[in-house]
Amino acid sequence: MKAHHAMLTNQDSAKQMETVISNHSPPATGFKGLSKEEEDSLLGQVEIWKYMLSFTDSVALKCAVELRIADIIDRFGQHISLPKIVENIEDAPSPDITLLQRVMRVLVRRKIFSVEQSENGETLYGLTRASKWILRDTKATLAPMLLLENHPLHLNPTHYVSDIIREGTENGTAFFRCHGHEQFDLTGLNPEYNRLFNDGMVCTARIASKAVISGYKDGFNQIKSLVDVGGGIGGSLSEIVRAYPHIKGINFDLPHVVSTAPKYDGITHVGGDMFVSIPNADAVYMKWILHDWSDQHCIKILKNCRKAIPEKTGKVIIVDHVLQPEGNDLFDDTGFAFDMMLLSHNAGGKERTEENWKWLFEQTGFPRYNIIKINALPSIIEAFPI
């Protein structure tokens, strides 16, 4: 009886809290009895508290993904109660509904989930446009990437950023200082991290490839052969070749990577080293490759791309972010966040501005380039040899 009473009490608390949330309005910008200087000081304090604790939103999201909260709601196809959610959490021998209620309270406030009241006054939780992207039982999901970005192995190197700023990276990146190995070495040494990393790359590649195919329709029409540099096991290239079956695809990556690649119609897997040479083709395709490398590494890669394509008709198709220092587009803040992660994970890896990309192209024999925005985090950057 006591447990049942506690459950009802917490449901009532949730209902009251959601009423507050639904009526919540932005903080007032004017304060009675404060001078302009005092008001500015108070608002500055508010901003620091906000950014100091913003990681807790990610903690709540990770919790929802690990417990498959969105999938449980989606399975019922309608808003459901907190007890019903708890009842369907797998591998939960003694779930604490009061703790979950506090997590859901945050996620409702952040509009990850929605709430409505049943006829008997019970709070019911539903999906929003955001929570549909943390469903784990669907192809269009960011859940694996979210688990990667919030894993301690991925997050802990960020605590060494001030050290590498003070001392430089001659003694290793922040990632190396934290783990004793560079990121891509650790994926080969730690099976759990390797799985998380690969799952995160696969889900984001699927999303980006769909946006590329939709936003670059005419760009693939005249290409007869396309080499995907750093193409992994060929997932992205297979999507392109499926949409454009006239293209002969060459999936190019390290030998041990392509040795595990499945067979795809219209695709040949080739092992090699992009810093040495790249297979010849009408065009080179690189998705989220160059942002992992320093300028000098990128110059080597792009020069090899230049050798691999025809002088007059060839092109390099880069799918990567274009950082906008003063930008206010949908994905601009995400680009800065990724740049911070690259700063702690890679030796020289970074998100680049248009000026940065232009400079790389000038150093590597690409006098002309074109940036095409698509409905995704990265853009398409075309580079032409003439």
pLDDT digits (tens, 9 = 90+) for 43-78: 999 999 999 999 999 999 999 999 999 999 999 999
| Cα–Cα dist 240/225, whole Å | 11
pLDDT band at 29 (very low <50, low <70, confident <90, very high): low
Over the stretch 166-212, which tens digit does the pLDDT of each residue have?
999 888 999 999 999 999 889 888 989 988 988 888 889 889 999 99
The b/e string for 279-315 (b: 16+ C-beta within 10 A; e otherwise) is eebbbbbbbbbbbbbeeebbeebbbbbbebbeeeebb
pLDDT at 120 over 80: yes
Report the alpha-carbon distance of residue 170 to residue 348 in Å, rounded.
Answer: 11
Return phi, psi of residue 111, to 5°. Answer: 65, 30
pLDDT per residue over 72-119, tens digit each?
999 999 999 999 999 999 999 999 999 999 999 999 999 999 999 999
What's the pLDDT band for 1 if we cut at 50, 70, 90?
very low
- The 80-81 sheet, strands edge to edge: 80-81, 123-127, 113-117
* Residues near 220 by beta carbon (within 8 Å), at least 6 away in sequence: 213, 226, 240, 243, 244, 247
Q: For residue 255, is pLDDT > 50?
A: yes
State whether the Cα torsion 70-76-78-84 is positive or negative: negative
Please state the rounded mean pLDDT for residues 5-31. 44
Q: What is the pLDDT of residues 297-325, one digit of tens each?
A: 999 999 999 999 999 999 999 999 999 99
User: What is the chain's mean pLDDT, rounded?
Assistant: 90
| Cβ proximity of 146 and 65 under 8 Å | yes
CA distance 359 to 168: 23
> What distance in Å separates the CA atoms of residue 262 and residue 268, rounded to the nearest whole number?
10
* Better-predicted residue by pLDDT, 31 or 240: 240
Q: Does residue 136 contact residue 71 with C-beta atoms inside 8 Å?
A: yes
Q: What is the DSSP letter of 77?
A: T
User: Closest Cα partner for 56 from 18, 105, 17?
Assistant: 105
Q: Which of 291, 297, 321, 345 is the catalytic position?
A: 291
Percent residues over pLDDT 70 in the chain: 92
**345 is annotated as an active-site residue:** no
Q: How confident is the model at residue 28, as a pLDDT? A: 53
* pTM assigned to the model: 0.84
DSSP 8-state secondary structure symbol assigned to residue 24:
-
pLDDT of residue 371: 97
